[in-house]
Amino acid sequence: MTDHPGTMNCAEFQAQLPELIGSGANTSDHPHLRSCERCRAFLADLETIAEAARQLFPSVEPSEKLWARIESAIRDEAPEDTQDSLTQS
């Protein structure tokens, strides 16, 4: 019901997050984040994990392989109902 034109759902947004962060974009300015508290929390978690990864691998650029590991780690922890959040207003 909140699926306005131009508004992506949480799964789509979260799928794009590593790319957004990797490109140096200002993710906190993303329209989806302004309207989605769940994804703001998700981004905070992602940044925490990314920061931890940087400290674990200080000499390694955040590669696609690293992001894939981060993504899969998040997916393992992500609640199953992520895609249902569109029903929240």
Residues 70, 30: Cα–Cα separation, whole Å: 21
Q: Which candidate, 52, 53, 49, 45, places its Cα nearest to that of 82?
A: 45
Residue 10 as a binder of Zn ion (CB under 5 A): the answer is: yes
Considering only the stretches 16-24, 39-47, 62-70, 76-84, report the one whose residues sit in contact with Zn ion under the rule CB under 5 A: 39-47
> Nearest distance from residue 1's CB to Zn ion, in Å?
14
Whether the CB-CB separation of 85 and 14 falls below 8 Å is answered with: no
Considering only the stretches 23-31, 32-40, 52-60, 68-76, report the one whose residues sit in contact with Zn ion under the rule CB under 5 A: 32-40
Residue 30 or 66 having the CB closest to Zn ion? 30
Retrieve residue 20's tokens. 């957004």
